[in-house]
Amino acid sequence: MPHPPALTSTLALSVLFLFLLSSTSQAHNITRILAKHPELSSFNHYLTLTHLATEINRRQTITVLAIDNAAMSSLLSKGLSVYTIKNVLSLHVLVDYFGAKKLHQITHGTTLASSMFQATGAAAGTSGYVNITNLKGGKVGFGAEDNDGKLNSFYVKSVQEMPYNISVLQISQVLTSAEAEAPTAGPSQLNLTAILSKQGCKAFADLLISSGADTTFETNIDGGLTVFCPTDAVINGFLPKYKNLTTSQKVSLLLYHGIPVYQSLQMLKSNNGLVNTLATDKANKFDFTVQNDGEIVSLETEVVTAKITGTLIDEEPLVIYKVNKVLQPTELFKVKTASAPKEVAEGPDDSADAPGSDDSEDQTADSDKNGVAGLDGGRLGMVVLSLCAGVLLM
């Protein structure tokens, strides 16, 4: 079985990636804000461990209800899995801005605020909403909507406010919610090949299983994994070429369709540049270029340009996209030489979404486009994304 080859060799690049990430336009960093408050260190640690910190930093307008180390220990003493803890903590992240002042000036003295737990879709009905109510004597009570009207936590103090980007408020207790505390399947319990098979990527899943590449994908889920699956029609059209490959080339080709880091569509859209894949074993081997044009995200090898045509699942740390071409690395396939530049207005390529055998024909045309036009901007805003699985967990 192949090992995740990207893990060790790209650590240095990971540091570069983190540097570049931090230098992009992030308005706030919850980890840094909380680090100034040792009494909130356990809460801070779990925001990182559950990847909620990344999610919080990405949001434009957000309120974090922090709890101190004593309140965190009472949560941790329940022995919940880290995925359940993630649900509980995501209930403490409100997708609206509440500074201390606004808290005390709520219209009619009570409101329901939507939380990130609600936004994940994990919460049913109205659970995932947080009831905020002004009480006698200037107290403000907080309670999960599914807590029978009990407001079990109270406003303590404002930790930091950056209107209207992020507000961090301390509350006295963890919000009690049966729904958030319900056992939840962790991503590593997700069956990758089953998800693929059920949603139009059965042929790709079958290749993963028959080659043994599925284990490399699965062991990377916990640390963050992005998968690009060519749809069934695309794989079927490609099979003659695939069968020509040796066993280890087959594995490399399949591993080339995964990157060992979680990349939401938003992240892909805002980061043009080279990415390392699960097949990468040295710098600049088996990488490809992410290239955006408005809403369209393309993946460019020098052999082929594929487009993302849909999302199968997006649950950090795992995201799976559908693509309309098999990604062919230059290490295994001949680079298409650019023919004479065509004066063609490259309109939106509708054939991209069309199922059927014309997908494989289409590759030739698209490769030409790649050779002529695709490289100009692609290598400019170059960002090397190569985050190994462990880095986010450290």
Ligand X SMILES: *[C@@H]1O[C@H](CO)[C@@H](O)[C@H](O)[C@H]1NC(C)=O
* Minimum distance of ligand X from residue 357's CB (angstroms): 14
Number of residues located near ligand X, criterion CB under 6 A = 27
Whose Cβ is closer to ligand X: residue 308's or residue 320's? 320
Residue 135 engages ligand X in binding (rule: CB under 6 A)? no
Whose Cβ is closer to ligand X: residue 134's or residue 276's? 134
In this structure, are strands 318-323 and 225-230 parallel, antiparallel, or unpaired?
A: parallel
Which of 12, 18, 82, 185 lies at the binding interface for ligand X (CB under 6 A)? 18
Of 97, 108, 111, 81, whose CA–CA distance to 180 is shortest? 81
Residue type, 180: A
Which of 31, 61, 184, 236 lies at the binding interface for ligand X (CB under 6 A)? 31
In this structure, are strands 166-171 and 62-66 parallel, antiparallel, or unpaired?
A: parallel
CB burial of residue 92 (10 Å; 0-12, 13-18, 19+)? buried
Which of 69, 120, 133, 249 lies at the binding interface for ligand X (CB under 6 A)? 133
Part in contact with ligand X (CB under 6 A); list of ranges 29-37, 73-81, 302-310, 354-362: 29-37
Whose Cβ is closer to ligand X: residue 297's or residue 391's? 391
Q: What angle in degrees, to the nearest 10, is found between the helix axes of 69-76 and 82-90?
A: 130
Which of 69, 111, 172, 351 lies at the binding interface for ligand X (CB under 6 A)? 111
For the record, the structure tokens of 229 come out as 């699956």
* Minimum distance of ligand X from residue 9's CB (angstroms): 21
Q: Per CB under 6 A, which of residues 171..200 are in contact with ligand X?
A: 191, 193-194, 197
Q: How far apart are CA 170 and CA 153, in angstroms?
A: 10
Which of 121, 138, 149, 347 lies at the binding interface for ligand X (CB under 6 A)? 149
Q: Cβ distance 371 to 338 under 8 Å?
A: yes
Of 267, 266, 263, 245, whose CA–CA distance to 254 is shortest? 245
Of 267, 261, 270, whose CA–CA distance to 11 is shortest? 261
The residues that touch ligand X, with contacts defined as CB under 6 A, are 18, 21-22, 26-27, 29, 31-32, 35, 57, 110-112, 131, 133, 149, 151, 162-163, 165, 191, 193-194, 197, 240-241, 244
